[in-house]
């Protein structure tokens, strides 16, 4: 949806960078949130003289006889725990508790002394099996949970939402402790008496503890906090109504009003909730017709109506709005070629698309802001099956909505009573979602960029039961 405009020479034009036209860019941004997670033990940075790591780097055994506190067999994961998620977790299985059961699980930083138990040194935490104590940065432990021995499965995790470490035993939560350690943290295992042997599970096998249910419960806690916030009466109704009105969905708006006429307060109550939708009602019937034309792929009719009703919007043939409409016309011609090919009809429609591009799109070659979309449009010609190509997203019906939204915004901006153009470029719903995104980013920044990344479209898809 259009949410920004740029002004040049007194003329308003849509800023292409805000239209979400390049969906591949969005995918690239999401890939940035994908991090490497530990998959095996790091045999290079470990106290190798006191332990043996298996060839698959997923189990370790203490092979020495401990004499003092500096002959601990310690090993970290091959990389730090990922931080751009709600929860990170791993488990160990105590195959043999050995002579004294001095096994520990925890987290340490990259400068940790690899001959000491996790939790004995600064910037480290460890849950110890021989005494059930939790150690956090010093040699003295504190009461925490039960001891553990042969046959037990122990887990250690990080809850980035609450900024806490948590530990489990045999699928049950033992307890949590506040995480006040900065910087990357490595999952760490220690053994410290003869014949102690441990297997490590970094997720290559199902966990005994239901970490997915734990994460779901954490999200529900956050949701419950949000739901306790008081809201004005029927505010959701007015948010939805203003959205329908803003984007010219007149028929849906009429049905929406009809269905709620007896259950809601009259229009003046909207002002009490901060909603004044008089501006959004401007040219509603015109915007409805223009949207219908564009959504049906009839770009010529949309152009004709714009020239009849709002000629100044399309008087500049190299304006952004003309560019979007011409691109969509080109896309519709390619789409027609694809349909005809499916039904074994003549193949001449692609030639028509080529002719149209040479006449109408060539004029935008020197316009820097149009480069990305223009290249994608032209690239459709290079594929035998454009629908299956990397630029096939242009043939999706959602692309028509992008163009229809842009045209809708331009019409709203012709309102002679308009005082602030920025107030008219977004619906109330979009302003709220924008603020939500900003708040989520700020919250994550306060946690040193740790925690689950917020992607609005993923949240909406999850609510609809659609895989992202």
Greater pLDDT, 114 or 289: 289
Lowest mean pLDDT among 126-140, 175-189, 196-210, 331-345: 331-345
Q: pLDDT tens digit string along 189-208?
A: 999 999 999 999 999 999 99
Q: pLDDT tens digit string along 40-55?
A: 999 887 766 678 899 9
Lowest mean pLDDT among 12-16, 180-184, 214-218: 12-16
Q: pLDDT tens digit string along 25-42?
A: 455 455 455 789 999 999
pLDDT at position 71, please? 85
Checking if the pLDDT of 212 tops 60, the result is yes
Cα first-last separation, the chain: 19
89 SS3 class: strand
Cα 5 from chain centre: 25
Which two structure tokens, joined as six digits, stand for 363? 């004029």
- The Cα–Cα gap between 466 and 43 comes to 41
pLDDT at position 44, please? 86
Lowest mean pLDDT among 135-144, 339-348, 421-430: 339-348
Cα 380 from chain centre: 28
CATH number of 51-224: 2.60.120.920
CA dihedral 303, 308, 313, 318 (to 10 degrees): 50
In the chain, where the domains are located: 2-28+282-426, 51-224, 232-280
Q: Hey, which residues does 91 pair with through a beta bridge?
A: 155, 201
User: pTM of the full predicted structure?
Assistant: 0.70
Q: pLDDT tens digit string along 254-292?
A: 999 888 876 655 544 444 555 555 568 899 999 999 999
Specify the pairing of strand 5-8 against strand 11-14: antiparallel
DSSP output for 391-432: TGGGGSHHHHHHHHHHHHHHHHTT-TT-S-HHHHSS-HHHHH
* CB-based contact 4:427 (threshold 8 Å): no
């Amino acid at each position: 949806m259009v949410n920004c405009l740029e002004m040049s020479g007194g003329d308003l034009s849509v800023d292409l960078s805000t239209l979400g036209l390049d969906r591949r860019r969005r995918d690239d941004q999401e890939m940035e949130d994908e991090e490497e997670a530990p998959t095996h033990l790091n045999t290079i940075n470990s106290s190798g003289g006191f332990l043996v790591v298996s060839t698959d780097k997923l189990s370790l055994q203490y092979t020495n006889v401990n004499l003092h506190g500096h002959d601990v067999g310690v090993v970290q994961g091959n990389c730090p725990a990922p931080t751009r998620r709600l929860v990170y977790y791993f488990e160990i299985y105590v195959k043999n508790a050995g002579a004294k059961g001095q096994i520990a699980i925890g987290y340490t930083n990259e400068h940790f002394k690899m001959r000491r138990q996790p939790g004995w040194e600064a910037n480290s935490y460890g849950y110890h099996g021989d005494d059930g104590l939790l150690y956090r940065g010093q040699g003295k432990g504190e009461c925490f949970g039960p001891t553990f021995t042969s046959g037990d499965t122990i887990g250690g995790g990080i809850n980035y939402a609450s900024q806490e470490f948590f530990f489990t035993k045999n699928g049950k939560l033992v307890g949590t402790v506040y995480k006040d350690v900065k910087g990357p943290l490595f999952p760490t295992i220690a053994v410290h008496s003869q014949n102690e042997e441990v297997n490590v599970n970094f997720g290559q096998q199902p966990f005994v503890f239901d970490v997915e249910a734990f994460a779901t419960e954490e999200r529900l806690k956050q949701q419950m906090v949000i739901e306790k916030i008081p809201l004005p009466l029927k505010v959701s109704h007015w948010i939805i109504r203003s959205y329908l009105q803003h984007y010219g969905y007149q028929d849906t708006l009429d049905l929406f009003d009809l269905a709620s006429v007896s259950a809601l307060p009259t229009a003046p109550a909207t002002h009490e909730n901060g909603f004044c939708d008089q501006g959004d009602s401007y040219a509603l019937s015109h915007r409805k017709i223009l949207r219908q034309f564009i959504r049906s792929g009839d770009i010529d009719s949309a152009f004709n109506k714009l020239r009849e009703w709002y000629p100044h919007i399309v008087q500049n043939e190299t304006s952004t709005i003309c560019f979007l409409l011409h691109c969509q016309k080109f896309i519709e011609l390619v789409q027609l070629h694809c349909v005809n090919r499916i039904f074994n009809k003549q193949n001449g429609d692609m030639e028509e698309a080529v002719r149209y591009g040479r006449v109408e799109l060539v004029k935008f070659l020197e316009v820097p802001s149009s480069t990305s979309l223009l290249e994608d449009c032209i690239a459709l010609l290079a594929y035998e099956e454009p629908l299956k190509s990397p630029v096939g997203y242009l043939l999706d019906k959602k692309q028509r909505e992008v163009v229809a939204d842009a045209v809708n915004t331009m019409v709203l901006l012709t309102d002679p009573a308009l005082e602030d153009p920025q107030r008219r470029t977004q619906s109330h719903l979009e302003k709220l979602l924008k603020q939500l995104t900003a708040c989520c980013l700020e919250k994550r920044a306060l946690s040193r960029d740790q925690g689950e990344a917020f992607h609005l479209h993923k949240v909406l898809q999850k609510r609809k039961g659609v895989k992202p």
